[in-house]
Amino acid sequence: MTTTSPPSRWVKSTYSPENGGNCIEWAPAHASETGAVPVRDSKCPTGPTLAVSPGAWAGLVSLARSADV
């Protein structure tokens, strides 16, 4: 079993509002290193992290771009 260290640098989604609200963060460097895209709730940085495939992440980004905001 291979273990990796947790991401050290998180980036807030550009679709997250500046005043809080529903915010997610992801760790692009970690995704490049491991092939798994970690995602978390920016309001709960010590909470759980969801790891998705690059294809699933691309689908989520595409959905966010197409949504009426």
Per-residue pLDDT tens over the stretch 7-52: 878 988 776 666 666 688 999 999 999 999 999 998 888 899 999 9
pLDDT at 55 over 90: yes
52 occurs within a structural domain? yes
5 occurs within a structural domain? no
- The residue assigned the tokens 């905001």 is 69
69 occurs within a structural domain? no
Q: What mean pLDDT do residues 48-63 have?
A: 92
Please tell me the predicted confidence (pLDDT) of residue 20. 60
Q: How far is CA 38 from CA 19, 22, 45, 63, 69, in A?
A: 23, 17, 12, 18, 24
pLDDT at 69 over 80: no
As given in the structure block, the two tokens for residue 48 are 């759980």
- Predicted TM-score of the model (pTM): 0.74
Q: What range does the domain containing 48 cover? A: 11-56
Close Cβ partners of 39 (under 8 Å, ≥ 6 residues apart): 24, 25, 26, 49, 50, 51, 52, 57
